[in-house]
Amino acid sequence: MNTVVLGLQWGDEGKGKAIDYLAGNFDVVVRFQGGHNAGHTVYYRGQKVVLHVLPSGIFYPGCLAVIAHGVVVQPLQLVEEVRNARRLGLTLENLSLSAGAPLILPFHQQLDVVFEDSRYQRIGTTRRGIGPAYEDVIGRRALFVGDLLDEKAFRAKIAPLAEYYNRLFAAWGQPAGELEAAIAAYLEAGEFLRPHVADTTALLRRARRERKRILFEGAQGSLLDIHLGTYPFVTSSNTTIAGVFSGTGLSPKAVGRVLGVSKAYATRVGEGPFPSELKGESGDRLRELGHEYGATTGRPRRVGWLDLVALRHAVEVNGVDRLFLTKLDVLDSLAEIQVAVAYDCDGRRGDDFPGHADALARVVPVYRSLPGWRQPLGKARRLEELPQEARAYLDFIAEFAGAEIGYVSVGSEREQTIFIDIS
């Protein structure tokens, strides 16, 4: 059954592990939004590999890996990532890159940094140029992967865009970027990527007609969605189910099942409200237990208790059929585990998730405390092998969030996953 895997929190839920676990059952794995702001950690032949734009399906021979047109592509970075994958012994012959994927150009990255360092807008972005590249799509100025394959057309299109950005930079007192060297490097990257460039919508439709099994690989998390996340502290794409359709050209009928990934606790990178955040010593402890440092930027992640109000919101937005709960083992040593079950705000208690960051910043979470299990879970492979307290924790989450748990991860290895057959 064609399956979508989506993050239900602020990214870093362990989607890389979930997709790697599932990908063996699929013929096609598709990235449909985001860019190299993502960092999907997968263990391959005992080695830790962080993928940024390449779909996690690349590790399975015979699995078609597709980067669809919803993804913003920095071609120099992608070339580097392809080269790294080849060094691991992967041929990547079956990688397809949409000609319609918007390009992240050097001035996008420069603008991201200028804005982040200004006092006007500090989001805590990954500084990769993601937001400005999507802005150009909305502003109808974007250049696309296909443009790289025709030098004359590429030069003709990038020149006025560079002028547009140079005027902006001049107003900010910033130097203009060096264009000629960038054009040469981008064209060279285009030549390298040329064999992979395709009409991925046509390719995916063909795959559907041939009844190939398709896995859609989400990046970031639902609470970072440009429309449904904690705006303005969000990324610039649809990280929710909507992104699958706008980002691939397939219809909702192409999706059979939605799998939502959540950690057993919560993390967030960058700025923005995080009601269940744990500060001080207990936060530091959880960060160390979970090794919570960014896969892309190395930044220490903010950590906190699982927020079930937010999780239920994400389940509803995406129509999640099953949960894939990760890093349950990180809580092994805790005597007591808290989960947020309501918010107090302006003298009222409720369990709706406010859409805007300003409202979310005002809420005070109401917690429910559950007993910990205080024993290592890393060796459990079946639900029955989990201690009663851990099962009670899972039951509470499923009940509150409104989706059953289909998978529980108890360690970083592929085998450290419990599959719960509830079909």
Q: What is the DSSP letter of 92?
A: -
At 41 the three-state DSSP class reads strand
Q: Which C-beta is closer to ligand IMP: that of 188 or that of 271? A: 271
Look at the alpha carbons of 415, 417, 421, 423 in this order and tell me if their dihedral is positive or negative.
negative
Reduced DSSP (H G I as helix, E B as strand, rest coil) percent helix, strand, coil of the chain, to 5: 40, 25, 40
Q: Name the residue nearer to ligand IMP (CB basis): 123 or 359.
A: 123
The single residue of 12, 20, 307, 321 carrying the catalytic annotation is 12
CB of 119 to ligand IMP, least distance (A): 18
Give 174's DSSP letter: -
Q: Which is nearer to ligand IMP, 189 or 269 (CB)?
A: 269
Exposure of 188 in the CB half-sphere (CA atoms within 13 A) = 10
Question: Could you confirm whether 40 is annotated as catalytic?
Answer: yes
Is the bond preceding residue 232 a cis peptide, omega within 30 degrees? yes
Residue type, 15: K
Q: How far is the CB of 295 from ligand IMP (least distance, A)?
A: 7
Cross-strand partners of 274? none
Catalytic residue among 20, 36, 40, 225: 40
Shortest CB 129 distance to ligand IMP, Å = 8
Rounded (5°) CA angle 190-191-194: 80
Shortest spacing between CB 403 and ligand IMP, in angstroms? 22
Catalogue the long-range contacts made by 363-366 (C-beta closer than 8 Å, 24 or more residues apart): 363/273, 363/275, 364/275, 365/275, 365/276, 365/305, 365/307, 365/309, 365/340, 366/340, 366/341, 366/342
Are the beta carbons of 305 and 338 closer than 8 angstroms? Answer: yes
Closest to ligand IMP by CB, 100 vs 221, is 221
CA distances from 218 to 13, 25, 211, 354, 381 (A): 11, 17, 21, 23, 26
Query: Of 123 and 149, which has the nearer Cβ to ligand IMP?
Result: 123
C-beta of 104 vs 143, nearer to ligand IMP: 104
Q: Can you give the C-alpha Rg of the chain in angstroms?
A: 21
User: Nearest approach, Cβ of 368 to ligand IMP (angstroms)?
Assistant: 26
d(CA 161, CA 4): 35
Binding site for ligand IMP (CB under 6 A): 10-12, 37-39, 123-126, 128, 130-131, 219-220, 224, 233, 235-236, 269-270
CA distances for 143 relative to 100, 134, 140, 198, angstroms: 9, 11, 9, 16
Q: Give least dist CB 402 to ligand IMP, A.
A: 24
Give 107 or 400: the residue with its C-beta nearer to ligand IMP.
107
Instruction: Report the half-sphere exposure of 333 (CA within 13 A, side-chain side).
Output: 7
Q: How far is the CB of 270 from ligand IMP (least distance, A)?
A: 2
Q: Which residues are designated catalytic?
A: 12, 40
